[in-house]
Each structure stands twice: as structure tokens, then as C-alpha cells.
């Protein structure tokens, strides 16, 4: 039994669990907000529209609202600016490992690597933003994302962050493009 008395099993266990213990490696990146876009820290409930291919359940709407709030707080940690933000989120599709479990309960066996960073879901959505600056100018933009996620970085949060960043960059570029001529 020298193997049990050695520290090798503990080291192997620590090595196997390192990805889940270092969950920061799986975090969602905060969107880069262009300087000319005065992004507020939150969206008023009246300024958020959530659409889907069918009726959007209240639970899904609450989840989108919460994830969008997390993304906005993360982006404003980099130096929030004042403005008014209106957002339309179109949920275009979602697939996850739980779809397989609903069909065949034995599929749960395949989820054992989930804590180690396995991709368990895919989400695709689009975001339309309208930012009203303090001086009254309106910036509009569109962004879309199709991403995968897992236990530590949910696909919906990653998709919202990426689509929001793309929409804000689009709004910034439209604002800087001269009209006419």
C-alpha cells in the first residue's frame, strides 16, 4: 500500500480539480464599451424588451434581465458614464445538455466533466440598443452572438455580453460616420 501512503493520490486529485477550483478561468469577459457611448449602470424595466421565437416565459425574462444586469455592472466597473439605454433582446435559439437528459435520463452520465469546463449549452441571440446621451443625441446599434457555455460561464451571459459589445461598437461607428456626401 505505498501508493495510499504517498501524496500522489492527493496531487492527482488536486490536478483533476484545478480547473473547477480556478473557476475564474471560465468567467465571462466584460464588454468593451467605446468611449463615445455613455453606458448607464442598468436598464430601466420599461427600456428592456425581450422577444423569442415563441412566448417568452417569465422565468426566461427574469434570467435575461439578471444576466444583462451582470453584464452592464461588469462593463461599468471600467468607468461608468451617464446616459439612457434601451435594449431589445431577441432570443433566437438555445440548446443544452439537459435537452438530452429530458429525452434519455441516462445522458446524465455524460455530464461528469461539467465542473471541469465541459461545454453544456449553446445560445444564439441578437441585441438592438438605443443609447441617449446626456446632450440628447441618440446612438443605435445592432449586435448578434452565437456562443457556447458551461457551468462556470453560462452561454446566455456570454452571448449577451458579446452581442451587447457588438451593438455598442455598431452604435459608436454609426455615430462617427458622417451623414451624406
Over the chain, what is the mean pLDDT? 78
Decide if 73 contacts 39 (C-beta within 8 A): no
d(CA 156, CA 169): 20
pLDDT at 144: 97
Domain boundaries, the chain: 27-175
Q: Which of 42-51, 98-107, 169-178 has the highest mean pLDDT?
A: 42-51
pTM, two decimals, is: 0.74
Q: What is the pLDDT of residues 92-140, one digit of tens each?
A: 988 776 666 666 665 666 666 666 666 678 889 999 999 888 888 899 9
pLDDT average, residue stretch 45-57 = 90
pLDDT at 170: 94
Q: Which of 17-21, 62-66, 78-82, 117-121 has the highest mean pLDDT?
A: 62-66
pLDDT at 26: 55
Beta bridge partners of residue 131, listed in sequence order: 85, 139
pLDDT at 48: 92
Q: Cell numbers 449602470 correspond to what residue?
A: 41
Amino acid at each position: 500500500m505505498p501508493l495510499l501512503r504517498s501524496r500522489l493520490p492527493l496531487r492527482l486529485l488536486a490536478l483533476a480539480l484545478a480547473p473547477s477550483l480556478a473557476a475564474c478561468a471560465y468567467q465571462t469577459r466584460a464588454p468593451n464599451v467605446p468611449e463615445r457611448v455613455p453606458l448607464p449602470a442598468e436598464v430601466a424595466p420599461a427600456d428592456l424588451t425581450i422577444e423569442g421565437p415563441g412566448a417568452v416565459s417569465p422565468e426566461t425574462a427574469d434570467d435575461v434581465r439578471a444576466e444583462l444586469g451582470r453584464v452592464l455592472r461588469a462593463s461599468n466597473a471600467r468607468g461608468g458614464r451617464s446616459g439612457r439605454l434601451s435594449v431589445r433582446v431577441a432570443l433566437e435559439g438555445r440548446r443544452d445538455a439537459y435537452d438530452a437528459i429530458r429525452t434519455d435520463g441516462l445522458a446524465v452520465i455524460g455530464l461528469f466533466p461539467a465542473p471541469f469546463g465541459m461545454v453544456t449549452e449553446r445560445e444564439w441571440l441578437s441585441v438592438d440598443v438605443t443609447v441617449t446621451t446626456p446632450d440628447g443625441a441618440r446612438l443605435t446599434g445592432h449586435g448578434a452572438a452565437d456562443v457556447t457555455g458551461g457551468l462556470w460561464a453560462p452561454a446566455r451571459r456570454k452571448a449577451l455580453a458579446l452581442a451587447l459589445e457588438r451593438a455598442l461598437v455598431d452604435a459608436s461607428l454609426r455615430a462617427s460616420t458622417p451623414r451624406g456626401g
